[in-house]
Structure 1
Amino acid sequence: MPRLVLAERVGVRPDRLVFARLPCAGCGGPHGRPLLPDHGGVHFSPSHAGDRVLVAVASVPVGVDVETVPADGVVRDVGSALHPRERAELAALPVNARAGAFARCWARKEAALKATGVALVRGAVDPYVGTGLAPAPVSGLRLTDVLLSEGHVAAVAHEVRQPAAPPDGDAQVTGAPVTAAMRRDSTRSR
């Protein structure tokens, strides 16, 4: 699916797309953020969870993540990797609300980390993205939840470019249009 979405965006046949990777932010190896070397102005991020596939495409660095709401055991096992405020927020929730809040937080965190090119090489503590119904602000990014069917959550993050300050000194923030495509992929197991 990512190949089809990207081919449509750049106007070439899917089999003509060439993919490469930026260096890893952690080790410098060739497994960093994916890119289309022949189409430098197109940034993309794919993600899948079970039979859900989500692809975000933008003119600025972008990250997307889709997650299946996990079992309570996963929240206990992986929740300790989160930012201290996120851990406290989860602990304050009723037990039956924790898995959904954890999945929202994790999808936001992965989307933000993919957009910055860092991924999980430095762990999942930063940035703080929150577990509530709306994402917490993240410096330099626009972070948005994506509504999906029950049992799945997703988020998309993209870089926010800061133009030069106007003469009066007031900074302006501009966003970039992001295209996201999601579908159920019948070739993936359920």
Structure 2
Amino acid sequence: MAAPYGMTRLLGSFRRFEHALFQWMGFYPPPGFQAELVYDIQPVENHVNNQQSSTKSILQDIFDSILLAVPKSRRTAEKKRTRKMSMKGHYEYAIPKNNIIACLECGNWHEKETICGHCYQTVKTETEEMQEAMGLDALKYDAPRSEVVFLYDGEEQERPKYDGKYIVEMKKQRPEWFSKNLMTKAHNPK
């Protein structure tokens, strides 16, 4: 089987480079050196014209295996446009979704099996306020070595219960969704 046109040109350029390199160094390779670069392989029968291949250079053998994965031709403009305007890419947001449900906590709509965006945002802002109340030094350089307890306004009578724990005071009312005991679910009085 004949090598592709690009492969033939690449191998020819390698041979010319090798010849020029030895010529520049002032000597041509000894006869035994060329024999090492070429080796005999078993003749392969071609069913079309029954020709036998004689020898192959090592470089040709190496580059034949590398260049096999190259696409034979470029992608046509029609195929590019078809891929660009495909159903997934172009019409993805035009198809109505049928997996939208209402959140059980706040009533906002979100996709099924995902977190409600509104609830997530409220928890995120509350967490940021808690981190600010702790102080940045407590979080970065001097983290508390004991359990952290957050006391909101109206919970001062519970301070003796948390003796020996790191207490952080929040200067606002506790949100309804934020339970005192995080192991139990908060009850919504609605």
TM-score tier, shorter chain, comes to: under 0.3
Q: Larger % of helix: which?
A: 2
Q: Larger % of strand: which?
A: 1
TM-score by length of 2: 0.18
Kindly indicate whether structure 1 or structure 2 has the higher relative contact order, using CA contacts under 8 Å at least 6 residues apart.
Answer: 1
TM-score by length of 1: 0.18
